[in-house]
Structure 1
Amino acid sequence: MKYTLIINNFYDNVREQLLKLGHFLSENNLKRDDGYAIVFHKYSAENIQALDSITELMPVFHVRYVYSNQYVPEICLDYLTTQDNGSSLYLFIGDIWGNELCARLSVRLKGLCITDITSLCRKSNLFLAKKKICSGHILGSFELTGEPCLVSINKSYDEAASPSHSESVEVSYDRTALSTGYELQFTPVVKEESFTDSPCILVCGLGLSNKEHVLAVENCADEINLPVAGSRPCVMNAWLPVDRLIGVSGTILKNNLAILLGVSGAPAFYTGVEKCKHIISINTDKDAPITKKSDLAICGDCTEIFTKFSKLVKEEYQHNE
């Protein structure tokens, strides 16, 4: 069975990537001679010898070094989409760039994708992958039927203790993955003050129904300097950025006051707010689990009620100035 490793050499952790991948291949009985590696790198022809140290750590027999003048996901995806070596499996390290390429390439190749796995084996016509779920408390098994399969390996996977330097490697070079044809724009990231530092925080849930309602609530919250976060359904629907996720897989709040809009109060979410000193929930469902866990529960249209609330707070601010 052919497989391909996708390696990013634009960051300083390429050695770590290779050691983790090498250990994973050994532990999961993937043969070295069946493996290919595509390494995206930034070294010019004059500095190409810098890749020798990577070649020494390569856990597969075939490696292709692909030059690009800068790392842009679209460049890598365009290149990988055109490279069909018959691989049934593509492997990435499960960091930010690896998980992104894994998911996006699976769509382009019409394959199957799973991220952050801890083990993988082939059984007749399917792959069996295992990964930790429910905040790492459960080890889940997933059957992947169909090819190609694209998987990322959990970034905390152990590195190989002693990589081999003696085995030969077949090396080729390619300079086709360039950023020509792309109009690239880079926007500097402005670091925001952490919402965990605010005495009060607003948390949006699925009950807000759509992104427009979330935006309206955000605008009201901004007028009274109230940070906004969201439950998992809110974030997964792209109504708010993923870095504002509250719950066991996101941020655990300890603010003085949390105002919850349209949140049902599932256990995984409640873990993220239970340490707040006070909780106010606004929900149309009087029987929602969060109702009994709130210091104050209001039954009604959360958008309408919060809009009126923010207006009153704003008027109070202005009165006290």
Structure 2
Amino acid sequence: MRYHCIIDAYSEDIIRQMEELYAFKTAFLQEAEEGVSYVLCRNRTVVERLGRRISGSAVAIIAEDYSPESVLEALGKETDLEDIYIFGSGICGTELSVRLAARMKGSSVAAVHGLEWKEHVTVKKMVYASHMEGTFRMKKGPYCISLAKGMDRQELEHGTFHIMKEMQCTGLPESVVSRKTTANEAAGGLDEAKVVIAAGRGIRNKENADYLRETAKALGGELGVSRSAAMNAWAPMNRMIGVSGAMLQPDICITAGVSGAAAFYAGIEKSKFIVAINTDGQAPIMKKADVAVADDFVPVVKALRELAER
């Protein structure tokens, strides 16, 4: 049994994606046979310019514009029914892993954070809004998995992939009449921010969310929000933190008006230092924070901002 990593070079966060894949294979597949990496890209030059690699050899699957149907057709020609195929944590990785397994009549599990393969291929992922960890035995190959968001990262090897083969994907499938691609609003560095202010329903309104955003900028950081705050349109949906949004690893995370539900906390639990501000001293987040302040967030954040602007 071999394992193969699939890298989405159309993504803006390709290095982070590769670091997560590299850390995963190092943690769980040290004794397995390494296969090739499949790099989805616009041209060969994209692969050569990376200057980093997670395996020695790669197959470049080339298309000017990303089309999942074309990519799946190319991957299907390369797929070995006994092997493991590991996709990144993004939307494309999740989609491709499920669809490739369906095409090849294999098995697929999304948002995986652990794997065992000695007797059977068994994977682990969080379930029930991150309240529990589930273990799943995959029945048949090919075994296609996508990684969970916010996985640990590992520094990449220096050097370039040896490109064994190029596979050209030309044109759209016959089933696609036309296609228009619209870029989503960028999250503005939330994933990589060293300082994050996380706002919840307790901040009460959009004006306070705007004030917290300005404060985050003054601290050199970014604003993120809970699902309830995002659903109230106090911030764009791409600012949502948690299992349905961003999984963060900042140096400092300051939560304001956040209760600390498990689905949200999963998005900040890897923070190096957490400060929780909540009027309810018994809120779950208060027990999980390094520092808990039982008070309204306004005077506390105002004092922080004054210190930052000195």
Q: TM-score range by the shorter chain?
A: 0.5 to 0.7
Equivalent in the alignment of 2:158:
165
Counterparts of 1:96-107 in structure 2 under 5 Å? 96-107=91-102
* SS in structure 2 of the partner of residue 20 of structure 1: helix
Q: Is 1:39 aligned to residue 39 of structure 2?
A: yes
Change (3 A) 1:32 1:61: farther
Q: Name the CA distance, whole Å, in 2 between partners of 1:189 and 1:23.
A: 29
Equivalent in the alignment of 1:315:
none
* SS in structure 2 of the partner of residue 123 of structure 1: coil
Q: Is 1:116 aligned to residue 108 of structure 2?
A: no
Residue 176 of structure 1, CA deviation: 2.0
Q: Is 1:127 aligned to residue 117 of structure 2?
A: no
The alignment-based identity, stated in percent, is: 20
* Native 8 Å contact 1:25 1:31 kept in 2: no
Mark the runs of 5 or more structure 2 residues left unpaired by the alignment: 186-200, 202-236, 246-310
Higher helix share: 1
Output the TM-score relative to the length of structure 1: 0.53
Q: Name the CA distance, whole Å, in 2 between partners of 1:131 and 1:8.
A: 22
Counterparts of 1:208-219 in structure 2 under 5 Å? none
Q: Kindly provide the amino acid, as one letter, of the partner of residue 52 in structure 1.
A: E
Q: Which moved further from structure 2: 29-38 or 6-15? A: 29-38
Q: Deviations over 1:77-133 (max 9, x none)?
A: 111111135651111012211111111111101000100011101131x11111011
Equivalent in the alignment of 2:130:
136
* SS in structure 1 of the partner of residue 88 of structure 2: strand
Equivalent in the alignment of 2:47:
51
Counterparts of 1:291-310 in structure 2 under 5 Å? none
Q: State which of 83, 87, 90 in structure 2 corresponds to 1:92.
A: 87
* Native 8 Å contact 1:33 1:61 kept in 2: no
Change (3 A) 1:190 1:127: closer
Q: Which has the larger radius of gyration?
A: 1
* Native 8 Å contact 1:34 1:61 kept in 2: no
Output the TM-score relative to the length of structure 2: 0.54
Q: State which of 134, 140, 143 in structure 2 corresponds to 1:146.
A: 140
Change (3 A) 1:8 1:147: same
Number of residue pairs matched by the alignment = 190
Q: Name the CA distance, whole Å, in 1 between partners of 2:2 and 2:136.
A: 21
Q: Deviations over 1:123-168 (max 9, x none)?
A: 31x11111011111111111112211110011210111x32226x7
Q: Deviations over 1:201-238 (max 9, x none)?
A: xxxxxxxxxxxxxxxxxxxxxxxxxxxxxxxxxxxxxx
Residue 32 of structure 1, CA deviation: 7.8
Change (3 A) 1:175 1:89: closer
* Native 8 Å contact 2:3 2:84 kept in 1: yes
Equivalent in the alignment of 1:11:
11
